[in-house]
Amino acid sequence: MKWTYGMNPKIPIQNLTTETDTRIVFAGSHFPILYNYCTKEMVHLEGHHNIVSCMTIDETGRWLVTAGGARDSVCIIWDTQKCNPVFSLYHIYKEFGLSMVKLSLSARYLVTVGRNVEDAYSIDLWLWTLGKECSEGAHTVPKKYGCPLEVCFNPNIEEHIMVVFERQVVFLEWIPEENKFVETSVPTIPKKVGDYTGATYLHNCHQCYVSTNKGCLLLFANTLYSKPFEEGKLDNAKNFISA
């Protein structure tokens, strides 16, 4: 295949541009496509038998993860420099498919969200660079939280993870020394703020924010400002502060 017309508008374009690379990657139907916007050349990465439903890259753009959302879906990690697959995960969520994937900035950790049962989502952490085909840990959350919208890694502490659903925010932490993937906080948030739309951690700060469809910005942090500050190791047990 030499050329593709059109793209999947539901999957954001990923920018691979560096001082020496002039490419972007977008999803067609069953292919992630590497497009050089200077030479007008396309490279189709073939490997999915289902339509590509989600895509993520690391901070350098070297590693690309694509996944199909249908039943019996496959999650593929690609080397964008060599344009070939380096690792695959098969049939992660056999019954209801995969909803979201996210690669950490260093590409060390991969988080997936999907459903193995009808009434709950599973959040899984994978150490794919070690060649492990089983997740290191999984956390189940009820379907009443709504659809998963975003997975965020703390840019300063990659082991701190925030997963945003339509109606709930879940904070988790990977503890390498204990080989544990733990849920650190599920804050209680007023319903009047609306459904959630996006989220981000702040650089070099314990705070993070979540936006809503009613124009609110929710603040989460490790300490309540009404309490005395106690210096210690930063964890991911966030409190809802204000909207």
Delineate the domains of the chain, giving CATH numbers in brackets.
1-145 (2.130.10.10), 146-243 (no CATH)
Q: What is the pLDDT of residues 140-187, one digit of tens each?
A: 999 999 999 999 999 999 999 999 999 999 999 999 999 999 999 898
Residue 224 banded pLDDT, cuts 50, 70, 90? low
CA distance 104 to 156: 11
| Count of Cβ atoms closer than 10 Å to residue 147 Cβ | 13
| Cα distances (Å, whole numbers) of residue 8 to 24, 29, 31, 49, 181 | 14, 7, 10, 16, 33
Size of the chain, expressed as the number of residues it contains: 243
CA distance 16 to 74: 23
At 1, list the tokens.
Answer: 């295949």
For the chain, the straight-line distance linking the first and the last C-alpha, in angstroms and rounded, comes to 50
**Cβ contact 24:15 at 8 Å:** yes
Which pTM value belongs to this model? 0.87
What's the pLDDT at 47? 82
Q: What is the pLDDT of residues 83-129, one digit of tens each?
A: 999 999 988 888 888 999 999 999 999 999 998 888 899 999 999 99
CA distance 75 to 5: 24
Query: Residue for token digits 């659809």?
Result: 147
DSSP 8-state class, residue 8 = -
Residue 229 banded pLDDT, cuts 50, 70, 90? very low
> Could you tell me which residues come within 8 angstroms of residue 17 by beta carbon, excluding any fewer than 6 positions away?
23, 24, 61
The 10 Å CB-count burial string (b at 16+, else e) for 54-71 is bbbbbeebbbbbbbbbee
